[in-house]
Amino acid sequence: MPSMKDVRTFKDSTTFTLKEAHLTKKKCVETEKRDIPSSDGLQWWARYHPAGDRDAAKNYISLYVCFNKPVTATYTFAVNNAFFNYTHTYKFKKSPFGVGYYQYASHEKLRPLFRDGKLTITCSIETDIEVPFVLSVPRVFQLFDHVPTDVEIVVGSKKIQVRL
């Protein structure tokens, strides 16, 4: 007999701070891995390269969203919650299950947005996950609410209805 599944939409986001001084550094930075509840170990995280992840992107920031298992998800990257807001839906199916933009935004366009040498970037995801279907079964005593009681026990001023 096939098991029944219920589909739930899961939404989450993570925000990280990019320092203007890092725009010249060739490095890869990853956010903490975030668990998706009731998903059998599904996790996601953001990965970014302040000075791009390849020669063609050296004057850009590269942004990626990653998953540890195959999944279809919608992801959004937003700089300072408004500028350069990009949304895309993708079916993550091949390892390393990461996708994004190698030329997300140029350093030239980002520099005016820095405040005190910092810029915030938010990565949001939304995905549907299958969770086991749980049928709520009433307690045994609730099944007999329609049956009259057999005995009434009186203790002090309290009465307890009992079925035998």
Q: Is residue 150 part of a domain?
A: no
pLDDT of residue 65: 95
Q: Is residue 154 part of a domain?
A: no
Q: Is residue 45 part of a domain?
A: yes
| pLDDT by residue, tens only, the chain of 164 residues | 556 778 889 999 999 999 999 998 888 999 999 999 888 889 999 999 999 999 999 999 999 999 999 999 999 999 986 667 888 889 888 766 789 999 999 999 999 999 999 999 999 999 998 877 766 666 666 666 666 667 778 888 888 777 66
Domain span holding position 128: 5-132
DSSP state of 108: H
Q: Is residue 138 part of a domain?
A: no
Q: How many of the other CB atoms lie within 10 Å of CB of 19?
A: 13
Q: Is residue 95 part of a domain?
A: yes
pLDDT of residue 80: 83
Residue matched to tokens 């910092």? 118
Task: Give this prediction's pTM.
Answer: 0.75
Amino acid at 151: V
**CATH number of the domain residue 10 falls in:** 2.60.210.10
> How many structural domains is the chain composed of?
1
Q: Is residue 137 part of a domain?
A: no
pLDDT of residue 96: 67
pLDDT of residue 66: 93
pLDDT of residue 147: 65
Q: Is residue 158 part of a domain?
A: no
- Reduced to 3 states (helix: H, G, I; strand: E, B; else coil), residue 111 is helix
Q: Is residue 149 part of a domain?
A: no
- Reduced to 3 states (helix: H, G, I; strand: E, B; else coil), residue 142 is helix
Tokens of 62: 């590269």
pLDDT of residue 18: 92
pLDDT of residue 31: 94
